[in-house]
Amino acid sequence: MTISEKDVRHVAGLARLRVEEQEIEPLVRHFEAILGHFAALSKAREEGRLNLDGVDPFLFSEREAPPLREDEPVRSAVRDDVLAAAPERKDSFFVVPRILEEE
Protein backbone atom coordinates (compact mmCIF):
# COMPACT_ATOMS: atom_id res chain seq x y z
CA MET A 1 0.00 0.00 0.00
CA THR A 2 1.57 3.26 -1.03
CA ILE A 3 0.28 6.56 0.17
CA SER A 4 0.99 9.74 -1.71
CA GLU A 5 1.21 13.34 -0.53
CA LYS A 6 -1.88 13.92 -2.63
CA ASP A 7 -3.78 11.33 -0.57
CA VAL A 8 -2.81 13.10 2.65
CA ARG A 9 -3.89 16.50 1.30
CA HIS A 10 -7.17 15.01 0.12
CA VAL A 11 -7.88 13.46 3.50
CA ALA A 12 -6.90 16.66 5.32
CA GLY A 13 -9.44 18.46 3.16
CA LEU A 14 -12.13 15.97 4.08
CA ALA A 15 -11.25 16.39 7.77
CA ARG A 16 -11.30 20.22 7.51
CA LEU A 17 -7.82 20.27 8.96
CA ARG A 18 -5.12 22.68 7.85
CA VAL A 19 -1.89 20.74 7.46
CA GLU A 20 1.32 22.67 7.00
CA GLU A 21 3.66 21.77 4.15
CA GLN A 22 6.30 20.38 6.53
CA GLU A 23 3.70 18.11 8.18
CA ILE A 24 2.80 16.31 4.95
CA GLU A 25 5.83 14.07 4.54
CA PRO A 26 5.83 12.75 8.14
CA LEU A 27 2.12 12.04 7.75
CA VAL A 28 2.75 10.00 4.61
CA ARG A 29 5.26 7.91 6.55
CA HIS A 30 2.87 7.56 9.48
CA PHE A 31 0.03 6.36 7.26
CA GLU A 32 2.33 3.82 5.66
CA ALA A 33 3.43 2.52 9.05
CA ILE A 34 -0.14 2.15 10.34
CA LEU A 35 -1.46 0.57 7.18
CA GLY A 36 1.66 -1.57 7.01
CA HIS A 37 0.69 -3.08 10.36
CA PHE A 38 -2.75 -3.66 8.97
CA ALA A 39 -1.31 -5.43 5.94
CA ALA A 40 -0.47 -8.28 8.34
CA LEU A 41 -4.16 -9.05 8.25
CA SER A 42 -4.31 -9.45 4.49
CA LYS A 43 -1.22 -11.64 4.65
CA ALA A 44 -2.74 -13.86 7.32
CA ARG A 45 -5.89 -14.17 5.25
CA GLU A 46 -3.89 -15.23 2.21
CA GLU A 47 -2.05 -17.77 4.31
CA GLY A 48 -5.36 -19.11 5.58
CA ARG A 49 -4.58 -18.23 9.21
CA LEU A 50 -7.38 -15.71 9.42
CA ASN A 51 -10.80 -16.43 8.00
CA LEU A 52 -13.24 -13.55 7.89
CA ASP A 53 -15.75 -15.19 5.56
CA GLY A 54 -19.26 -14.85 6.89
CA VAL A 55 -18.11 -12.99 10.01
CA ASP A 56 -20.66 -10.47 11.26
CA PRO A 57 -18.80 -7.15 11.38
CA PHE A 58 -20.99 -5.89 14.20
CA LEU A 59 -21.18 -8.72 16.70
CA PHE A 60 -22.13 -7.13 20.00
CA SER A 61 -21.68 -8.46 23.48
CA GLU A 62 -24.78 -9.10 25.52
CA ARG A 63 -26.84 -5.96 25.08
CA GLU A 64 -30.05 -4.73 26.53
CA ALA A 65 -32.79 -3.34 24.35
CA PRO A 66 -32.27 0.37 23.71
CA PRO A 67 -33.54 2.34 26.67
CA LEU A 68 -36.79 4.18 26.07
CA ARG A 69 -38.15 6.92 28.26
CA GLU A 70 -41.59 8.40 28.57
CA ASP A 71 -42.24 10.97 25.90
CA GLU A 72 -42.61 13.88 28.27
CA PRO A 73 -41.36 17.36 27.50
CA VAL A 74 -38.58 18.53 29.80
CA ARG A 75 -37.56 22.14 30.04
CA SER A 76 -33.88 22.64 29.46
CA ALA A 77 -32.35 25.81 30.84
CA VAL A 78 -28.88 25.54 29.38
CA ARG A 79 -29.27 27.90 26.43
CA ASP A 80 -27.59 30.86 28.08
CA ASP A 81 -24.80 28.71 29.51
CA VAL A 82 -24.12 27.25 26.09
CA LEU A 83 -24.19 30.59 24.35
CA ALA A 84 -21.88 32.05 26.98
CA ALA A 85 -19.11 29.82 25.60
CA ALA A 86 -19.55 31.09 22.03
CA PRO A 87 -16.47 32.66 20.47
CA GLU A 88 -18.83 35.20 18.90
CA ARG A 89 -22.59 35.55 19.43
CA LYS A 90 -25.40 37.89 18.61
CA ASP A 91 -28.56 37.59 20.71
CA SER A 92 -29.20 33.85 20.80
CA PHE A 93 -27.16 33.04 17.69
CA PHE A 94 -23.62 31.86 17.03
CA VAL A 95 -21.94 34.24 14.60
CA VAL A 96 -20.00 32.78 11.67
CA PRO A 97 -18.59 34.39 8.54
CA ARG A 98 -21.16 35.06 5.86
CA ILE A 99 -21.79 31.97 3.74
CA LEU A 100 -24.09 33.57 1.13
CA GLU A 101 -23.26 36.56 -1.03
CA GLU A 102 -25.19 39.75 -0.41
CA GLU A 103 -27.84 40.69 -3.01
Binding to another protein (CB under 8 A) within 14-33 occurs at 14-20, 23, 27, 30-31, 33
Using the rule CB under 8 A, which residue among 22, 66, 90, 103 binds another protein? 66
Q: Does 88 bind another protein (CB under 8 A)?
A: yes
**Is the dihedral angle over the CA atoms 47, 51, 54, 60 positive or is it negative?**
negative
CA dist., res. 98 & res. 12, Å (int): 23
b/e per residue 35-65 (b: at least 16 CB within 10 A): eeeeeeeeeeeeeeeeeeeeeeeeeeeeeee
93 forms bridges with which residues in the sheet? 90
Using the rule CB under 8 A, which residue among 99, 101, 102, 103 binds another protein? 99
Q: Which residues bind another protein (CB under 8 A)?
A: 7-8, 10-12, 14-20, 23, 27, 30-31, 33-35, 37-38, 40-41, 44, 50, 52, 55-62, 64, 66-67, 69, 78, 81-82, 84-88, 94, 96-97, 99
